[in-house]
Amino acid sequence: MTAPKSGGGRGVAASRAAAAGPRTVLITGVSRGLGRALALELARRGHAVVGCGRSAEHVRSLEAEIATPARHFLTVADVRSDGNVAELAKTLVEKKQVPDIIVNNAGTINKNNKTWNVPVEEFDTVVDTNIKGTANVLRHFIPLMIEKKHGIIINLSSGWGRSAAAEVAPYCASKWAIEGLTRSLAKELPPGLAAIALSPGVVNTDMLNSCFGSSAALYQSTEQWAPKAATMILSLSLDDNGASLTV
């Protein structure tokens, strides 16, 4: 595995990102937070964004704002549903928009609570979205990438997928799972494909506000984060297979 890319390498990363040319990038959870900000930034740079979110209203809002909307495909789909993801994969094959890069971004967090007090439905939602939702995307899109003989798979992790905090045990467990899943996946992929666990860092989103409250406003906005994230994501290569990196 490679060492984490640091600020000193941003110039090199930017050059690599620009040199690769336009890519098709699949982003799950595209309609809000990090997903939305990343989609807007990638579109601004001339890349094609294909993505899904659960809210039709938020998806339509993104379509109205994104640059050159005709080259993108944004739709309503829930990654917790294997059938939804299968249908998305089928549609993208038909549209000849099989992604070069996957960003498994869709995620959720539990409300702050002691582990034994987290309602079962809430715990299930975190696991079904963060772990099983990611697995659903991998199940239907990796075979398409194998057929193309290339692809970069980015599974969004978290600092809490490498450490832990009180009252967010379901979320921590789910992101530790993403780290393990990604490392195992990296050992399975054929030549031409790579899988990376990527922590976005600390960003002021609805999820951060859920656990940090008003202190979330002290951290970078999604708009500040997106250019750095886009450059890093576009610069990732086969050499990064199995790595755990941070934006």
Helices (H), 45-158: 56-65, 82-94, 120-127, 133-148
State the residue for tokens 């890069």. 101
Within 8 A by CB and 6+ apart from 219, the residues are: 202, 203, 204, 208, 212
**Pairwise CA distance, residues 187 & 177, whole Å:** 16
Catalytic residue of the set 73, 160, 171, 225: 171
**Residues 37, 38, 41, 43: is their CA dihedral positive or negative?**
negative
**Pairwise CA distance, residues 42 & 213, whole Å:** 29
Among residues 122, 114, 242, the alpha carbon closest in space to that of 188 is found at 242
φ, ψ of residue 156 to 5 degrees: the values are -70, 125
Tokens of 143: 């075979």
Q: Is 219 a known active-site residue?
A: no
Which residues are catalytically annotated?
Answer: 171
